[in-house]
Amino acid sequence: MNHKLQHQNLTLQFTLIQCCHWGSCAAILGFCSVYLLDYGFTNTQIGIIAAGAYIVSSLVSGVLAFYADSSARVSLKKIISVLNVIQVILSISLIIFKEYTHLIGFLFAACTVGIMVLNPLLNSLGMACMNQGKTLDFGVTRGIGSVTYGLVSYALGNFISKKGSFIVPVMMVVISIGYTVFVHIFPFEKETMEAEKKTVCCMGGFIKRYKRFFIVLTGCILLYVSHVCLNNFVFQIIRSKGGTSAEQGFAMSISACLEIPAMFLFSRMKRMVRTDIWFRVSGLFFLLKTLGTLYVSSVIGFYFVQIFQIGGYALLTVSSVYYINELMEEKDVIKGQTFFVMTYSIGSVLGSIMGGYLIDRHGVDMMLKTGTLFAAAGMVIVMLAAERSHDKPCPDTWAAKQEDKK
């Protein structure tokens, strides 16, 4: 790989991919409840559908992670491209088979599986580019992805309140096609390292090498349970405070935009304070957001509570990607990123089932109280179990820029 190619700036191209990914997340994950409620599904049924999707995505993600780490010929780019083609087909099927209620539930679950599986692969693609010495500010690309999430959420929320939820699969088709195109033209080649391929470890060896990491994952599962209680049932929460889907879309856009500072500035933040410290602090903000949501009584108050997104989900999302990259050997990074995203899947299973059940049986407040307890427990575990992280000697965004100046 020549010097110019090695240090090419991929931030803009990766940003386009992130925009499509998080635009898809806004449509699929953000408006799951609204879309399926319109088809007559109950909150409990929606929770079960989401839980089933997250379970399947965990299994698929695990298999793909070990395959991607061990395969000499198939790159992350190829895997992501194939998954996006499948997403396009599934999204079109939602439009074609809109009269078949039960099939709609299955297809929407399949779309959820697809977008969840793509998440760790996309994170790993970004880290792989940086580890190859290419200039890529992951935090900035992820932050712009959050802006896209907010814009798509705002647009969908307003459209649905006026015209109906049929726009959701249409938006999914358009964004998925863009996602496929931008991944296809992204300049990434997998580096073949024979020595490392021979040392790819089995599952048992991976767990043994990173014991404390799996304790941290337990804490993250609990944090994500609280997050899912807020995120998957935001429509029900907004409605309990006197709002509609329009207010839901606005609240989601506020939340997404507030993720920007932490994500845009994280490459600088981690040079001032170690990555693992930012990673630990994020748990506190999960707790504050859940508590705030529980105690505010109006839609306006709910808008203000979104401020905790800055140090909660936003900080955990970007710090975890760097934390894993710094903690693990290069041959284990894809597995590490995948296991971390699997914590979201497991947390989503628990949060979806628990949240739907508690809302149907005991109301929104009981769901929020339970979510608060999970957030508190998760915060304590992450703070105590996270290990000290160290920057890898490989080039990051700053180092690559310095090299280009020489």
What pLDDT is recorded for position 289? 92
The predicted-structure confidence for 183-230, as pLDDT tens digits, reads as follows 888 887 666 554 444 455 566 677 777 778 888 899 999 999 988 888
- Go through 79-97 and write b for each residue having 16 or more CB atoms within 10 A of its CB, e for each that does not: bbbebbebbbebbbbbeee
Residue 9 backbone dihedrals phi, psi, to 5 degrees: -90, 115
Are 91 and 382 a contacting pair, CB within 8 Å? no
Residue 294 lies in a domain: yes
Residue 359 lies in a domain: yes
The predicted-structure confidence for 295-311, as pLDDT tens digits, reads as follows 888 888 888 888 888 88
Residue 55 lies in a domain: yes
pLDDT exceeds cutoff 80 at 279: yes
What pLDDT is recorded for position 202? 60
Q: What is the mean pLDDT of residues 81-97?
A: 90
Residue 97 backbone dihedrals phi, psi, to 5 degrees: -105, 35
Residue 396 lies in a domain: no
What pLDDT is recorded for position 267? 78
The predicted-structure confidence for 17-61, as pLDDT tens digits, reads as follows 999 999 988 888 878 878 888 888 887 788 788 878 878 887 887
Q: What is the mean pLDDT of residues 107-111?
A: 90
What pLDDT is recorded for position 288? 92
Task: Please tell me the distance from the alpha carbon of residue 380 to that of residue 222, in angstroms, as a whole number.
Answer: 10
Residue 6 lies in a domain: no
Residue 360 lies in a domain: yes
pLDDT exceeds cutoff 90 at 373: yes
Residue 395 lies in a domain: no
What pLDDT is recorded for position 131? 72
Q: What is the mean pLDDT of residues 132-137?
A: 76
Give the number of domains in the chain: 1
- At 223, which amino acid appears? L
Tell the residue number behind the tokens 């999204």, with chain if given.
Answer: 91
Spatial neighbors of 13 by CB under 8 A, at least 6 apart, are 182, 185, 186, 187
Show the domain range for 315. 12-190+199-390
Task: Please tell me the distance from the alpha carbon of residue 124 to that of residue 77, in angstroms, as a whole number.
Answer: 10
Question: Can you give the CATH number for the domain in which 72 is found?
Answer: 1.20.1250.20
Residue 65 lies in a domain: yes
Calculate the alpha carbon distances from 235 to 71, 170, 287, 299, 304 in Å. Answer: 42, 21, 20, 11, 17
pLDDT exceeds cutoff 50 at 111: yes
